[in-house]
Amino acid sequence: MMESIFFKPRQITLMKRKGVEHDQRKREVRKLVKSGLSKADASRITGIGYTTVVLWTSDMQTCKGRIYIAGMTLKVMKELVSKGYIFSGNPGISSSYKTLKKYFPVKRVSMRGMTVFFLEGNERKAMEAFLERRNLKSISWHKLGYIRKAFGIKKMKRE
């Protein structure tokens, strides 16, 4: 005959630390987070564990860390600002696009194996560069209309 063993669940009790120093440190952490620092930065500055800081500030909304553009994303942004458009050539451009579209009006058009990224307002310039890069000797108005719609250009003059 087998004996069955039953485990009793342990009672977990949270011990609340009381004292002036504890309350003062908690107020300091909350003040830092309220001033705009991330919870991780507040943890580093005060020397209090990150998990404790998260618990003490769980009712507060904070910014999600630092926001900056660097590396490949910065190069892509510089080229977008200077030319108004950029063609995908290296693998870093797609991930840069994902980052940039969160903060800037960057658009993307993919057609026939070619992708062009452009800033809003540079649709026509990007479309002209796209057509030039395709090296087409002639194009029908129907195909041009299709490309025009992909770039979001409403009407074109017959040139």
**Tell me: the pLDDT tens digits for 28-79?**
999 988 887 888 888 888 899 999 999 999 888 766 655 667 788 888 888 8
- What pLDDT shows up at residue 157? 61
Long-range (24+ apart) CB contacts under 8 A made by 100-104 are: 100/69, 100/73, 100/76, 103/67, 104/77
Q: Tell me which of 3 and 111 has the higher pLDDT.
A: 111
Q: Is the pLDDT of residue 13 over 50?
A: no
pLDDT of residue 8: 54
Q: pLDDT tens-digit profile of 86-109?
A: 888 767 787 788 888 887 888 888
pLDDT at residue number 51: 92
More confident residue, 30 or 141: 30
> What does the block give as tokens for 138?
């002639």
Alpha helices, H only, the chain: 20-34, 39-46, 50-56, 71-83, 92-103, 123-134, 141-151
Query: Structure tokens of 146?
Result: 């299709």
Give the strand pairing for 85-87 and 106-111.
unpaired
pTM above 0.85, yes or no: no
Q: What pLDDT does 18 receive?
A: 65
Predicted local confidence at residue 17, as pLDDT: 59
Quote helix, strand, coil % in the chain, to nearest 5.
50, 10, 40
Average pLDDT, the chain: 79
- Give all domains of the chain, ordered by start, each with its CATH number: 20-56 (no CATH), 71-151 (1.10.10)
For the packed helices 141-151 and 123-134, what is the interaxial angle rounded to 10 degrees?
130
pLDDT digits (tens, 9 = 90+) for 15-26: 455 667 888 889
